[in-house]
């Protein structure tokens, strides 16, 4: 049975889901926020639909106010229809309350007055330096906004290509938790996951300089924990959570914004939509929620970003299944744990909806990563062109898709060794989606390759800041310390990761690598041996173990590992099984791995022979050799400079 406040017509819902005590809204912005519309729309409704708005006359200026009970009654009777064309043609009047807020003072409720939990602020204190929403759940309180003069805030806000952010302004951080499904029947993840993802994306585009939105992987990991613990773990002040309830062909979505410090609900809202087009539901509701948050947070003086629902195609059952597969693939991709499964999910999404740009971008990203060190699931010459093709297809469908630009940047750096194009594409990805940690991660790698290690570390920390409990981005910080030859810092970071995530192979790898460069060979060998056991002798871990054994003087053990890698490479080159024999998935063995062990053994000619072969294979990590400590024994050999010149370093 539908909740009593779901309109039987299924038309656009009123502003709230339950009766509330009457209150006074004292500006066009507040009225628009309450109704979940643009200011232009509600002003047009006043003129053409007799929206009950009252006016004060203040000398030459006019200010407006409205009562929520009158708006609710009007909305129930009128059931107004959105008309974007009429809105575009309408010329709005200026909001006098914005021009001179002091004129509204006599009509504002006292700061200590009691209001309903879903109240939105009437105005904001002048000079507020940042934009967290003032808490209004049950009572209006004055929010003391602290200016944090933390040096890390400056480093995390620096980009060589963006305007520097004022380090005296604290960035508002919010986590969007996965929405819950409360109807009791089989859970439609394509609704809850899709809605959560679209809302997160929409919020991330509002004001990236001042609003940080935590990535989906971390938000999903901490979901279900107490709000205060979520706030402490993710370092957020606000949490957005919601639920989805389905009744026949209608869906009701309840949303609440919670302030972490006292767990008060700053506002709540409900939306009721027809479920015949789940994509339009996602678009409409995410845009409305974005408008609500935009109105709640005090913004710096700048043109307000446009937050409008997009126009999407009607959702067929195939498209709904496509979204379900896509969100499964995206979560698996977020941890990089099972890239083949994520590829299968993205391919399924594309089969169900060949026009789904995001699925092509997901396929591109997973394929690109599968074909590089240390995943080695596919030769680079096979993986990278496929990734490029999928990314280009995604951009044909949606030229502003940040994930696809990021993949093109990854391919340009790791396969084409075209650092200028890589930088252009990665900067574009960050510009389009500043709150996505992956472009920051890949831009960090580019900066490492370019030798800009302090900037690389800032990007690594920025990615971690956006996805704080995802081990992947902790690994990137340890890796960046390693390439900056800050081995103690790399060890400290990696040890923290290993303590929390003993099975994290990347953390084990960078921990062992830092030990090795400090000539702490017993510790390095022990670490790499553990990584071998955890990974069932993954080739990258075999290489690291064999290289370290060679440096430690254990020549026989190093040769044993070298022989094993050569055997794996030879076995993979054998013809594929004939008819009736199932496919055999074997790792690609980059010749770079054999070269590394030869370097450890001091077999320079053999090392350069394998490096030349790695060059032909287009192994991605060749581009790192210019800064990799492992290559130090080769730098004085003229062949090393020749190799670097072929890659693009002069």
The 10s digit of each residue's pLDDT in 541-585 is: 999 999 999 999 999 999 999 999 999 998 876 555 454 444 446
Does 10 have pLDDT greater than 60? no
Is residue 61, in this structure, part of any structural domain at all?
yes
Does 414 have pLDDT greater than 80? yes
**Final residue in a domain of this structure, among 386, 417, 433:** 433
How far, in Å, CA of 162 to CA of 439, rounded? 15
Do 245 and 130 share a structural domain? yes
Does 315 have pLDDT greater than 80? no
* Cα-based angle 633, 639, 642 (whole degrees, multiple of 5): 120
Is residue 208, in this structure, part of any structural domain at all?
yes
Using pLDDT thresholds of 50, 70 and 90, give the confidence band for residue 122. Answer: very low
- Mean pLDDT, all residues of the chain: 78
How far, in Å, CA of 367 to CA of 45, rounded? 50
Is residue 559, in this structure, part of any structural domain at all?
no
Using pLDDT thresholds of 50, 70 and 90, give the confidence band for residue 209. Answer: confident
Q: Return the percent helix, strand and coil in the chain, to nearest 5.
A: 55, 10, 35
Do 355 and 246 share a structural domain? no
More confident residue, 550 or 66: 550
- Read off the CATH number of the domain in which 79 is found: 1.10.1660
Do 128 and 44 share a structural domain? no
Do 386 and 262 share a structural domain? no
Q: What is the mean pLDDT of residues 260-283?
A: 80
Task: Give the chain's largest Cα–Cα span.
Answer: 93
Contact criterion met (CB below 8 Å) for 408 and 425 = yes
Residues of the chain with pLDDT > 70, as a percent, come to 74
How far, in Å, CA of 624 to CA of 17, rounded? 56
Instruction: Residue 627: name the closest of 640, 646, 614 by CA.
Output: 640
Q: What is the mean pLDDT of residues 187-203?
A: 76
Contact criterion met (CB below 8 Å) for 616 and 379 = no
Structure tokens at 489: 């810092």
Q: How far is CA 7 from the centre of its chain?
A: 35
How far, in Å, CA of 432 to CA of 413, rounded? 20
Q: Which residues contact 329 (CB under 8 A, 6 or more apart)?
A: 341, 342, 343, 344, 345, 346, 348, 349, 359, 362, 366
Do 252 and 218 share a structural domain? yes
Does 307 have pLDDT greater than 60? no
Do 81 and 229 share a structural domain? no
**Final residue in a domain of this structure, among 391, 416, 433:** 433
- Read off the CATH number of the domain in which 215 is found: 3.40.50.10070
Measured over the CA atoms of residue 472, residue 473, residue 478 and residue 481, the dihedral's sign is positive
Q: Which residues contact 293 (CB under 8 A, 6 or more apart)?
A: 133, 174, 203, 206, 240, 257
Question: Which region among 141-150, 263-272, 471-480 has the lowest average model confidence (pLDDT)?
Answer: 141-150
More confident residue, 466 or 38: 466
Helical residues (DSSP H) of 143-277, grouped into ranges: 151-156, 189-204, 216-222, 227-234
- Read off the CATH number of the domain in which 398 is found: 1.25.40.10
Is residue 488, in this structure, part of any structural domain at all?
no
How far, in Å, CA of 37 to CA of 20, rounded? 19
Is residue 547, in this structure, part of any structural domain at all?
no
Do 395 and 380 share a structural domain? yes
Is residue 292, in this structure, part of any structural domain at all?
yes
Contact criterion met (CB below 8 Å) for 556 and 537 = no
Using pLDDT thresholds of 50, 70 and 90, give the confidence band for residue 207. Answer: confident
Give how far Cα 452 sits from Cα of 167, 448, 457, Å: 22, 6, 9
Does 204 have pLDDT greater than 50? yes
Do 334 and 265 share a structural domain? no
Using pLDDT thresholds of 50, 70 and 90, give the confidence band for residue 128. Answer: very low
Residue 425 belongs to domain spanning: 316-433
Do 103 and 116 share a structural domain? no
123: three-class secondary structure by DSSP: coil
Instruction: Residue 337: name the closest of 477, 582, 501, 176 by CA.
Output: 501
Reported as a single tens digit per residue, the pLDDT across 212-234 is 899 988 998 898 899 999 999 99
Structure tokens at 355: 């026009």
Q: What is the CA radius of gyration of the chain?
A: 28
**Final residue in a domain of this structure, among 68, 89, 108:** 108
Do 273 and 160 share a structural domain? yes
Residue with tokens 């126009």: 311
- Tally of domains in the chain: 3
Instruction: Residue 519: name the closest of 635, 596, 600, 606 by CA.
Output: 600
How far, in Å, CA of 178 to CA of 237, rounded? 17
Q: Count of residues for the chain?
A: 650
Is residue 218, in this structure, part of any structural domain at all?
yes
Do 117 and 104 share a structural domain? no
Q: Which residues contact 330 (CB under 8 A, 6 or more apart)?
A: 197, 216, 342, 345, 362
Contact criterion met (CB below 8 Å) for 272 and 4 = no
Do 356 and 255 share a structural domain? no
Is residue 327, in this structure, part of any structural domain at all?
yes
């Amino acid at each position: 049975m539908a909740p009593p406040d779901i309109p039987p017509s299924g038309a656009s819902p009123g502003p709230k889901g339950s009766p509330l005590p009457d209150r006074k809204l004292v500006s066009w912005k507040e009225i628009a926020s309450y109704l979940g519309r643009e200011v232009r729309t509600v002003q047009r409704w006043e003129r053409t639909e007799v929206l009950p708005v009252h006016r004060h006359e203040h000398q030459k200026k006019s200010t407006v106010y409205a009562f929520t009970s009158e708006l609710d009654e009007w909305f129930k009777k009128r059931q107004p229809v959105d008309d974007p064309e009429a809105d575009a043609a309408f010329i709005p009047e200026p909001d006098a309350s914005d021009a001179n807020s002091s004129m509204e003072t006599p009509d504002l409720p006292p700061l200590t007055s009691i209001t309903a939990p879903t109240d939105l602020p009437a105005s904001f204190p002048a000079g507020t330096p940042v934009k967290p929403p003032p808490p209004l759940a049950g009572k209006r309180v004055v929010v003391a906004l602290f200016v944090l003069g933390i040096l890390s805030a400056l480093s995390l806000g620096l980009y060589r290509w963006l305007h520097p952010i004022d380090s005296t302004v604290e960035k508002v951080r919010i986590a969007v938790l996965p929405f819950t499904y409360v109807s009791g029947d089989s859970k439609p993840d394509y609704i809850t996951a899709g809605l959560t993802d679209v809302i997160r994306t929409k919020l991330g585009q509002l004001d990236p300089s001042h609003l940080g939105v935590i990535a989906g992987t971390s938000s999903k990991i901490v979901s279900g924990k107490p709000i205060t613990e979520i706030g402490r773990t993710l370092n957020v002040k606000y949490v957005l959570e919601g639920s989805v309830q389905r009744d026949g062909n209608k869906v009701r979505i309840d949303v609440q914004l919670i302030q972490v410090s006292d767990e008060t609900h700053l506002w709540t809202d409900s939306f009721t939509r027809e479920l015949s087009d789940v994509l339009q539901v996602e678009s409409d509701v995410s845009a409305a929620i974005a408008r609500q948050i935009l109105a709640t947070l005090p913004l710096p003086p700048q043109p307000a970003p446009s937050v409008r629902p997009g126009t999407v195609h009607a959702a067929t059952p195939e498209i709904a299944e496509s979204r379900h597969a896509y969100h499964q693939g995206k979560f698996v991709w977020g941890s990089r744990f099972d890239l083949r499964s994520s590829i299968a999910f993205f391919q399924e999404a594309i089969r169900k909806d060949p026009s789904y740009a995001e699925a092509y971008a997901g396929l591109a990203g997973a394929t690109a990563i599968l074909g590089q060190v240390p995943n080695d699931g596919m030769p680079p010459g096979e993986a990278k062109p496929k990734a490029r093709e999928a990314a280009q297809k995604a951009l044909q469908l949606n030229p502003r898709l940040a994930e696809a630009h990021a993949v093109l940047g990854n391919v340009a750096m790791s396969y084409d060794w075209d650092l200028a194009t890589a930088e252009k594409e990665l900067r574009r990805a960050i510009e389009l989606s500043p709150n996505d940690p992956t472009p920051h991660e890949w831009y960090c790698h580019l900066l490492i390759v370019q030798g800009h290690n302090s900037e690389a570390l800032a990007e690594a920390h920025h990615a971690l800041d956006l996805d704080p409990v995802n081990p992947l981005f902790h690994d990137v910080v340890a890796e960046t310390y390693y390439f900056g030859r800050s081995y103690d810092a790399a060890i400290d970071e990696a040890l923290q990761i290993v303590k929390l995530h003993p099975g994290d192979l990347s953390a084990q790898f960078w921990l062992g690598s830092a030990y090795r460069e400090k000539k702490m060979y017993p510790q390095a060998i022990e670490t790499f041996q553990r990584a071998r056991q955890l990974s069932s002798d993954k080739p990258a871990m075999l290489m690291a173990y064999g290289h370290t054994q060679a440096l430690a003087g254990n020549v026989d053990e190093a040769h044993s590992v070298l022989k094993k890698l050569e055997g794996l490479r030879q076995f993979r080159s054998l013809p594929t099984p004939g008819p009736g024999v199932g496919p055999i998935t074997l790792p690609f063995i980059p010749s770079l791995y054999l070269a590394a062990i030869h370097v450890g053994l001091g077999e320079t000619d053999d090392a350069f022979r394998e490096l030349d072969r790695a060059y032909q294979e287009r192994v991605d990590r060749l581009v790192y050799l210019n800064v990799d400590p492992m290559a130090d024994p080769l730098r004085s050999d003229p062949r090393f400079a020749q190799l670097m010149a072929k890659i693009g370093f002069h």
